[in-house]
Structure formats: C-alpha cells, structure tokens
C-alpha cells in the first residue's frame, strides 16, 4: 500500500515518538531530531522511511484505530481502547449494524463503532453540547469515517430518531436519563452499554435498566497493566492508569404480550 497525498499517517521517530499527521507536498514538520519534509512520504510503501535534515530516519505507518483514538483532539475524557474493545465484543458490534451513541464526546468511541459497522452500517451519535458535536465531527472526518456516522445535536431525554437499532451506547453524566430513549430505539435482543466513572452512577444506571426490562445486566471494569520487557529485567511498569470508568451492559427483552 502506497502513501497518497492527503493521507493520515503515523510518523515514528527513531526513539519511537509518534506523530499523527496528514502528508502534503511541501508540508514540513519540526521534531526533536530535525525537520522532516512530509511530502517525502508520498508514494512510499507504509513501513518505509523518510529522513530529517539531520539524517534521522522516521518510519511512515498507517495509523491503527488505537492511534486515531488516542491522538484525536480532545474536549473531554476519551474512551480508552481497553474499554472500547470490550464494548465492541460484548455488544457484538459488526459490519452492517445500526448503532445509537449518546453522547459523542470527542468521538473516540464513535470512531471505534464506525470502524466496526463499516461499510454497510451506521452510527447515529447524539450530543447536547454543540461545540462537542463539531469537534467530534471534525475528528471523525479526519479519520475518514464520515460515511458511517451521522451527528445529531440533541440531548438524550429528547429521544432518538432511530428505531430497531442493534446497539445503544450511553456515555452520559446521568445515564439513567438516556435509558428510556435507548430502550425505545433498540430492537428486541438489542444490547446496551453505558460508561460511567463513579459507583453511584453505576448503581442508578443498573437500577433503571432493570426497571426498563433489560436482562443480562452486568457491570465490569477493565484494567491494563504494561510490562517492561528486557532480557533478565522483565517487570510490570511502575505507574499505571488506575481507573477510567465502569462499563455496564444489558440486553433488551421485549415486553411480554398481554395474551401470554
């Protein structure tokens, strides 16, 4: 695969600092190891190198979903890959699905959802804060996922336009406020995931899920531990992220029909 004019690439310095940039002829970038001409990357294979004016080699890579999520322009605490990965798996998000997300935040999870439903599915993402919508929209556009995402500037209590969606994701300060709307939008057997940093939010969220008839409700947290690997000196890393948030999952059961 060759790098094209305008492509988003991950530039990696010899000491493994990474930069997510778009390459254009004539565009240059300063680094701690000299200036690099980003236009030099055009036409290269991913995995090849460009050189700074100080003769240091910088790798040109295709960014992964993780790179894009971690390096987007943040206006909020973002969803981490460790959490996003498990949400995708546990909700069974896959190509062709229709997903409602509320709120959009900085678009990190939106991106992961879009990546999973592409090319035939769609993510409908709501946020009540206009400037967040705009920032998320730009992030999604930059990452090339615009075809799979529709942005809506609205709060959860006002309800969602979609019906019979496969998955609903809530990333709200008061997730319980969004649960009735999510329940209404979901198809029978559809899955819901809610992210919250505090125990108190989780408690109210789980209670409300039960009231709205969700089943298979469970709450977990995901911890990541990095290992510093070196021959004869392998050990866990000194510092780690201690908490991002709790993930609560549920499945929509349809109401029992009166004739039952």
Residue of 7, 38, 91, 195 interacting with its own copies (CB under 8 A): 91
Burial of 193 (0-12, 13-18, 19+ CB in 10 A): buried
Per rule CB under 8 A, is residue 81 in the interface with its own copies? yes
Q: How far is the CB of 235 from its own copies (least distance, A)?
A: 4
Tell me the backbone φ, ψ of residue 209, rounded to 5 degrees: -60, -45
Which range binds its own copies by CB under 8 A, 19-27, 30-38, 130-138, 214-222?
A: 214-222
Q: How far is the CB of 88 from its own copies (least distance, A)?
A: 6
Per rule CB under 8 A, is residue 141 in the interface with its own copies? no
Residue of 29, 37, 66, 180 interacting with its own copies (CB under 8 A): 66
Q: How far is the CB of 92 from its own copies (least distance, A)?
A: 3
Asked if residue 103 has a cis previous peptide bond (ω within 30° of 0), the answer is yes
Angle between helices 175-185 and 199-211 (to 10 degrees): 30
Paired tokens of 7: 């492509």
Per rule CB under 8 A, is residue 21 in the interface with its own copies? no
Q: Are 9 and 60 in contact (CB under 8 A)?
A: yes
Q: Are 33 and 79 in contact (CB under 8 A)?
A: no
Per rule CB under 8 A, is residue 192 in the interface with its own copies? no
Which range binds its own copies by CB under 8 A, 98-106, 126-134, 155-163, 245-253?
A: 245-253
Residue of 26, 225, 258, 259 interacting with its own copies (CB under 8 A): 225
Paired tokens of 131: 């400037």
Q: How far is the CB of 120 from its own copies (least distance, A)?
A: 8
Residue 122's SS3 state is strand
Residue of 22, 92, 131, 161 interacting with its own copies (CB under 8 A): 92
CA distances from 145 to 47, 122, 148, 149 (A): 23, 10, 6, 7
Which range binds its own copies by CB under 8 A, 22-30, 59-67, 128-136, 174-182?
A: 59-67
Q: How far is the CB of 153 from its own copies (least distance, A)?
A: 28
Residue of 25, 27, 28, 224 interacting with its own copies (CB under 8 A): 224
Looking at the Cβ atoms of 158 and 216, the one nearer to its own copies is 216
Per rule CB under 8 A, is residue 30 in the interface with its own copies? no
- Residues 152-185 as b/e (b if ≥16 CB within 10 A, e otherwise) read bebbbeeebebeebbbbbbbbeebbbbbebbbeb
Residue of 26, 130, 233, 259 interacting with its own copies (CB under 8 A): 233
* Residue 153 CA, distance from chain mean position: 19
Residue of 5, 28, 30, 94 interacting with its own copies (CB under 8 A): 94
Q: Give dist(CA 237, CA 252) in Å, integer.
A: 40
């Amino acid at each position: 695969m060759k790098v094209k004019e305008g492509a988003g690439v991950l530039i990696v310095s010899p000491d493994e600092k990474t930069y997510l940039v778009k390459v254009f002829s004539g565009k240059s970038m300063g680094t701690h190891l000299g200036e690099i001409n980003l236009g030099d990357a055009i036409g290269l294979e991913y995995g090849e190198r460009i050189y700074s004016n100080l003769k240091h080699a910088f790798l040109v890579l295709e960014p992964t979903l993780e790179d894009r999520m971690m390096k987007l322009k943040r206006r909020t605490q973002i969803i981490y890959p460790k959490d996003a990965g498990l949400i995708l798996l546990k909700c069974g998000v896959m190509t062709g699905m229709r997903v409602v997300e509320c709120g959009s935040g900085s678009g990190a999870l939106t991106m992961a959802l879009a990546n999973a439903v592409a090319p035939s599915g769609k993510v409908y993402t709501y946020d009540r804060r206009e400037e967040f919508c705009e920032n998320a929209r730009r992030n999604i556009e930059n990452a090339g996922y615009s075809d799979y995402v529709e942005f809506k500037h609205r709060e959860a209590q006002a309800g969602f336009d979609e019906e019979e969606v496969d998955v609903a994701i809530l990333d709200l300060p008061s997730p319980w406020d969004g649960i009735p709307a999510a329940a209404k939008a979901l198809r029978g057997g559809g899955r819901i995931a809610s992210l919250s940093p505090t125990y108190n939010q989780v408690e109210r969220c789980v209670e409300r899920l039960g009231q709205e008839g969700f089943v298979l409700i469970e709450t977990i947290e995901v911890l990541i531990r990095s290992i510093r690997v070196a021959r004869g000196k392998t050990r866990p890393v000194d510092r780690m992220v201690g908490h991002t948030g709790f993930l609560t999952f549920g499945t929509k059961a349809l109401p029992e029909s009166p004739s039952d």
